[in-house]
A and B are shown apart, each in its own frame.
Chain A
């Protein structure tokens, strides 16, 4: 039992990190008032680009992760042009991006022969004697580098969002774009920036999925994690640290799935595979039951609304 628990907990971070980074990216984008339903697409783009870059560039995991983030940011320019410049309905734009990414990643990976090609990927760090410690060794001291970097990334993003001028302006653009515009903030610039930085983080989550966890690319491998991340952001009321907690919860569920069969529990496997989605739904219901009148202020007030200076209210 103890072995089972240690083994399980040691695997939670690798499953939690994609949710955490994706949710953080979504928070950055949505704080600027842009509803980002394209997360699944950016995640797929990052995953495919990461695996591809690893194969093409001679196996540098960091370069692969960087390419993953950049590829998603590049694709997000299409989304930004649609939503910010052309004022397309943000739901339609987000869905279009998801399907664009599904088609594009499938096509490119098939043409390049990257599908189902195992990559060596990102290894776990070996911290010598620390990693060999009982219990805490496998849990705390033998994760891969991205797991350790996730907390500084969260610190940096929350610091920028809540303690700097850039963060203040970004939140102003998301809460009251008309007022921000009147105060001289370039609404379009901030929204473009928030979309690209957010997509880069979601792309990094995707790259981690292919290069760090699965160590290969298969079509549609994000498997709804982008959508779960969107639900996590609502559940976390757009607060990064609560999103991280939610990510650990979902990482825990996902890490448990392959272990249920291993210990010989007789549960039909496809019902077990449903659990992340059912749990997400449950979490959304819980979040909305709990959301009283004052909780509604957590949501960026201009979320989903295009800004048009000429229609200032």
Chain B
């Protein structure tokens, strides 16, 4: 690291000595910010980071007792040569993508929404309330459930968003704390009033046919996937094409500058935060009405960090999020079979995702800086 001593030596030592001793010739390593890194270079560094993350993940899995050949088989061969597994990955990708969009929308205005899981729970609770209460005519039921889920997630975001904007209460902590509150509310409902009357197990009663996202007609795929893709396209339009998207980009680059330029910083930040909560609520609905067909105790587990990872790796770009969501979904599906066949605990998914974030975040060092020898 930076070392003043060597530089001082070079200054203090006499010229003829400076030529003779090695020590005087060595400078220190300094960092220089890159003003601009070319696109190919950024892609190269990013690829290097991803590869390093994958390599470390593979080493961890091999250290847990899975051979390299089995690893390749579980993650690549078994998944992409089998229509059933492809369908499982796509099914898993839908709610992950929506959670990733929720994170991306908030991160674009530098609002750290760590409460995606709590908002998913509230969204699912609202949708399940519509389903259990048989609200509205059957043909409109799914639409009402989606709306309720969005409002549920939005409502759960309202308090942290307002606290951040009015009182500058740190939203990282407030959104995270509300996860625990929402989880306890979920348990209260599932062990109490919403317990399945048929089996008395702590999950809600099954949704009727009209309350489920319908199958598309290929394998087990449902309309959750088209819903997620449409939302991704809308978010892309909003963030990358529309005028508001331009505002979010300025706010992301420099909130103070944005305010000084007269942009509606407060309104855009509040809107993005609430949209993020609403999207997370819809993600909860997509799991309950598109995969599990009831509300369970742990349907949301892992989506919060996955959403953050998806937004981070995709650099808050909704279209990039589609790709990353597919990658994370592959990880989820492969890990289910690892759990069954190799007794690898589910926390492996979190571990690998964390390793990937650390590798990619660390690799960005080489995009932002250049190491220079300072004499």
Residues of chain A having any CB pair with chain B under 8 Å:
37, 78, 81-82, 85-89, 91-93, 95-97, 99-100, 102-107, 110-111, 184, 186, 188-189, 219, 223-224, 227-228, 230-231, 234, 268, 270-271, 273-274, 277-278, 280-281, 284-285, 288-289, 308-311
In Å, the complex CA distance between A173 and B248 comes to: 33
Q: Which residue of A lies closest to B33 (CB)?
A: A311
List 27 interface pairs A-B (beta carbons < 8 Å), by A numbering: A81-B362, A85-B1, A86-B362, A91-B172, A93-B358, A99-B357, A100-B351, A100-B355, A100-B358, A103-B348, A103-B349, A107-B60, A107-B344, A107-B345, A110-B343, A186-B2, A227-B173, A230-B173, A270-B187, A271-B188, A277-B181, A280-B173, A284-B170, A288-B163, A288-B168, A308-B31, A309-B31
Q: Which of B1-22 contact A (CB under 8 A)?
A: 1-2, 4
Identify which of A82, A96, A273, A310 gathers the most chain B CB atoms within 10 Å of its CB. Answer: A96
Q: Is A270 touching B177 in the complex (CB atoms < 8 A)?
A: no
In Å, the complex CA distance between A87 and B174 comes to: 26
What's the least CB distance linking B311 to chain A, in Å? 10
Q: Is A268 touching B192 in the complex (CB atoms < 8 A)?
A: yes
B134: chain A residues at CB < 8 Å are none
Determine whether B350 belongs to the interface, using a CB cutoff of 8 Å to chain A: yes
- Closest 7 pairs (CB-CB, A-B): A103-B351, A106-B347, A100-B354, A270-B188, A103-B350, A99-B354, A110-B345
Q: Is A86 touching B188 in the complex (CB atoms < 8 A)?
A: no
B357: chain A residues at CB < 8 Å are 92, 95-96, 99
Q: Is B167 touching A289 in the complex (CB atoms < 8 A)?
A: yes
Determine whether B178 belongs to the interface, using a CB cutoff of 8 Å to chain A: yes
What's the least CB distance linking B103 to chain A, in Å? 11
Number of A-B contacts (CB under 8 A): 145
Q: Is B354 touching A103 in the complex (CB atoms < 8 A)?
A: yes
From A78, A87, A234, A281, B368 is in contact (CB under 8 Å) with: A87
In Å, the complex CA distance between A284 and B181 comes to: 16
Q: Is A78 touching B187 in the complex (CB atoms < 8 A)?
A: no
B114: chain A residues at CB < 8 Å are 95
Q: Which residue of A lies closest to B351 (CB)?
A: A103
Q: Is B185 touching A285 in the complex (CB atoms < 8 A)?
A: no
A91-B172, A104-B351, A224-B177 given; name 9 further pairs at CB < 8 Å.
Answer: A96-B357, A102-B350, A103-B349, A107-B347, A184-B4, A231-B173, A274-B184, A281-B178, A288-B163
In Å, the complex CA distance between A106 and B33 comes to: 39
Contacts known (A268-B188, A274-B181); A95 close to B350, Cβ less than 8 A: no
In Å, the complex CA distance between A18 and B19 comes to: 58
Contacts known (A88-B362, A96-B357, A184-B4); A106 close to B345, Cβ less than 8 A: yes
B312: chain A residues at CB < 8 Å are 92
Q: Is B365 touching A86 in the complex (CB atoms < 8 A)?
A: yes
Q: Is A99 touching B305 in the complex (CB atoms < 8 A)?
A: yes
B345: chain A residues at CB < 8 Å are 106-107, 110
A96: chain B residues at CB < 8 Å are 354, 357-358, 361
**Number of chain B residues whose Cβ lies closer than 8 Å to a Cβ of chain A:** 54
Contacts known (A277-B180, A284-B169); A88 close to B364, Cβ less than 8 A: yes
What's the least CB distance linking A35 to chain B, in Å? 9
Residues of chain B having any CB pair with chain A under 8 Å:
1-2, 4, 30-33, 60, 64, 112, 114, 163, 167-170, 172-174, 176-178, 180-181, 184-185, 187-188, 191-192, 305, 308, 312, 343-355, 357-358, 361-362, 364-365, 368-369
Contacts known (A37-B172, A96-B354, A309-B2); A227 close to B177, Cβ less than 8 A: yes
Q: Is A270 touching B185 in the complex (CB atoms < 8 A)?
A: yes
What's the least CB distance linking A289 to chain B, in Å? 7
Q: Is A310 touching B362 in the complex (CB atoms < 8 A)?
A: no
In Å, the complex CA distance between A228 and B173 comes to: 8
B362: chain A residues at CB < 8 Å are 81-82, 86, 88
Contacts known (A270-B185, A277-B181); A288 close to B167, Cβ less than 8 A: yes
In Å, the complex CA distance between A308 and B368 comes to: 12
Q: Is B174 touching A284 in the complex (CB atoms < 8 A)?
A: yes
B177: chain A residues at CB < 8 Å are 224, 227-228, 231, 277-278, 280-281
Q: Is A107 touching B64 in the complex (CB atoms < 8 A)?
A: yes
What's the least CB distance linking B172 to chain A, in Å? 7
A78: chain B residues at CB < 8 Å are 358
In Å, the complex CA distance between A93 and B358 comes to: 7
Q: Which residue of A lies closest to B350 (CB)?
A: A103
B163: chain A residues at CB < 8 Å are 284-285, 288
In Å, the complex CA distance between A37 and B347 comes to: 20
In Å, the complex CA distance between A91 and B171 comes to: 12
Q: Is B361 touching A92 in the complex (CB atoms < 8 A)?
A: yes
What's the least CB distance linking B65 to chain A, in Å? 8
In Å, the complex CA distance between A104 and B187 comes to: 27
Q: Which residue of B lies closest to A37 (CB)?
A: B172
In Å, the complex CA distance between A88 and B30 comes to: 17
In Å, the complex CA distance between A260 and B270 comes to: 39
B343: chain A residues at CB < 8 Å are 110
Contacts known (A87-B365, A188-B1); A107 close to B351, Cβ less than 8 A: yes
In Å, the complex CA distance between A95 and B358 comes to: 10
B31: chain A residues at CB < 8 Å are 308-310
Q: Which residue of B lies closest to A89 (CB)?
A: B361
Q: Which residue of A lies closest to B365 (CB)?
A: A86
Q: Which residue of B lies closest to A92 (CB)?
A: B361
What's the least CB distance linking B372 to chain A, in Å? 9
Contacts known (A102-B350, A103-B348, A271-B188); A310 close to B170, Cβ less than 8 A: no
What's the least CB distance linking B181 to chain A, in Å? 5
A92: chain B residues at CB < 8 Å are 312, 357, 361
In Å, the complex CA distance between A228 and B174 comes to: 10
What's the least CB distance linking B184 to chain A, in Å? 4
B308: chain A residues at CB < 8 Å are 95
What's the least CB distance linking B121 to chain A, in Å? 13
B353: chain A residues at CB < 8 Å are 99, 103
A186: chain B residues at CB < 8 Å are 1-2
Q: Which residue of A lies closest to B160 (CB)?
A: A281
Q: Is B64 touching A111 in the complex (CB atoms < 8 A)?
A: yes
Q: Which residue of B lies closest to A181 (CB)?
A: B2
B1: chain A residues at CB < 8 Å are 85, 186, 188-189
